Amino acid sequence: MKKLSLSVFFLILLIVGCAEKPKNIGDSLLDQSDIFNIEDIVVYSSSDTSYRIAYAAGFSSTLLAGKLSNNDESITLINFLPDESIDSLKDAVIDTVELSLFIEYRLQPASPMIELDIKKIETSWSQSTFTYDSLPLLQISADSILGTFKDSMNYNATIIAQINKDYIRRWADSYIDTGNHSKFYGFALQARTIPTGLIGFTSFNSPLEIFPRLLIKYTKNGTRDSVVLTYGEDTFVSKFATPPTLTPITVQGSFGIRSKINFNLDYLKNKPLVNRPTINKASLELTLDTTANTLSGYVPDSVVAFLAMDSSIVSDRSDSTIFVFGYRKEVVPNSSPIYSFNVANNVQRWINGLKPNYGLTLRWAAEFSSADKVVFFSSTAADSTKRPKIKITYSTK
């Protein structure tokens, strides 16, 4: 009987407990200051601009040469630095000289055959400092062509040009007997015709097996031998004959074209400090203008966004330590592609006052080794849905 009574007692407790509503008990346990509200907002850009910077591409893995139009040109500079093997050319007869380059990039190449002339450089230069601003001071011989690359310039192929051996004789002597011979400063590769497209060659910063190579075959004391040089300095510069009109928002590698986009986030920043928003998610979205792009397919399809700095100081300044990559998203067929960037950390820094909000600087991810160009719809686009925007999810107490 005791066992039966005890069971009935627990059954009654269970029924009573289920009938009670636990909500009131739970509410009394919650601290109202710990309750978060989640909100979503979309902030459209307030302004944008495009501009050009001068940078040294001397440590790039790719060397560009050619012309896309009458108004632009990319020039490759290569200077082989001899080792002790150059001494073997003393009192030798140079028979032939070959310059070999390996192709790893093509942008709108013209129909074969593409011709790039090899000219001598008559003034010194440095790969660490040379930019397109340095070109007016560089003396490239206009009256003598040392050789010509004439090829279809196929990707992943090696091309070879015969070089004037008299030039190499004088070049070698300038190192063997420095006191009696004027020094030369390497080769410049320039397009012969317009347009050629842009061809990219591997540099001395590439794997050894695809370095630029200078092969010198010679005869000495009746014996034929050769010297192979695969070390030196190289760079390239891309210039415009006349400054182009830059349409926001344009980003292009090689030519150093960047853009800056501004966003007004005062709505979030001006909230009381105790209620300052926590950014859960923030996505910058840029809509691609597919009619204005020039893409090669040989480099990653991505853009880098930096924290911009006060443009009143230097127009191309940016905080390069805080950056994100933007990639093309999958979109609905027949709609404009969108590049998406995760800028949650950037936005949080702005609204917390850790970094001043000078906007975002955009550059092509492969800026130092390619000339690909992307153009995005600007802050004044007729279709407002295509304007730059940041989609933000944030929480407040």
Residue 36 has pLDDT above 90, yes or no: no
Secondary structure (DSSP) of 58-112: TT-SEEEEEESSTTEEEEEEEEE---GGGGGGTTPEEEEEEEEEEEEEEESPPSS
Q: What was the pLDDT predicted at 10?
A: 41
Q: Token pair of 176, please?
A: 């063997």
Does residue 42 sit in the same domain as residue 184? no
Q: How many angstroms separate the Cα of 220 from the Cα of each of 89, 180, 228, 332?
A: 8, 22, 16, 69
Does residue 227 sit in the same domain as residue 262? no
CB of 364 within 8 A of CB of 376? no
Number of folded domains that form the chain: 2
Q: Token pair of 85, please?
A: 């093997």
| Helix or strand (DSSP H, E) at 269 | helix 266-269
Question: Which pLDDT tens digit goes with each residue over 175-220?
Answer: 888 666 677 899 999 999 999 999 999 999 999 999 999 999 999 9
Look at residue 141 and tell me if it is in a domain: yes
Does residue 301 sit in the same domain as residue 342? yes
Q: What was the pLDDT predicted at 273?
A: 77
pLDDT band at residue 223 using 50, 70 and 90 as cut-offs: very high
Look at residue 372 and tell me if it is in a domain: yes
Give the count of alpha carbons within 13 A of 308, CB side only.
23
Question: Which pLDDT tens digit goes with each residue over 380-389?
Answer: 999 999 999 9
How far apart are alpha carbons 15 and 290 in whole angstroms?
A: 68
Q: What was the pLDDT predicted at 131?
A: 96
Q: How many angstroms separate the Cα of 298 from the Cα of each of 20, 94, 197, 301?
A: 68, 38, 14, 9
Single out the residue in 181, 211, 240 at which a domain terminates.
240
Q: What's the whole-number mean pLDDT along residues 148-155? A: 97
Does residue 116 sit in the same domain as residue 232? yes
Does residue 187 sit in the same domain as residue 311? no
Does residue 211 sit in the same domain as residue 315? no
Q: What was the pLDDT predicted at 130?
A: 97
Does residue 215 sit in the same domain as residue 280? no
Q: Which residues contact 29 (CB under 8 A, 6 or more apart)?
A: none
Look at residue 18 and tell me if it is in a domain: no
Phi, psi values for residue 27, rounded to 5°: -60, -35
- Lowest-confidence pick of 264-273, 294-303, 310-319, 320-329: 310-319
Q: What was the pLDDT predicted at 276?
A: 85
Secondary structure (DSSP) of 176-225: HSTTTS-----EEEEESSS--EEEEEE-TTS-GGGS-EEEEEEEETTEEE
Look at residue 246 and tell me if it is in a domain: no
Q: What was the pLDDT predicted at 313?
A: 53
How far apart are alpha carbons 145 and 164 in whole angstroms?
A: 8
Domain span at residue 275 reads 33-53+256-396
pTM value > 0.85: yes
Does residue 74 sit in the same domain as residue 195? yes
Question: Which pLDDT tens digit goes with each residue over 108-140?
Answer: 999 989 999 999 999 999 999 999 999 999 999
Question: Three-state DSSP class for 353?
Answer: coil
Q: Which residues does residue 161 pair with via DSSP β-bridges, in sequence order?
A: 99
Single out the residue in 240, 265, 291 at which a domain terminates.
240
Does residue 220 sit in the same domain as residue 287? no
Does residue 146 sit in the same domain as residue 291? no
Look at residue 17 and tell me if it is in a domain: no
Look at residue 181 and tell me if it is in a domain: yes
CB 282: neighbour CB atoms within 10 A?
22
Token match 């407002």: residue? 384
Look at residue 22 and tell me if it is in a domain: no
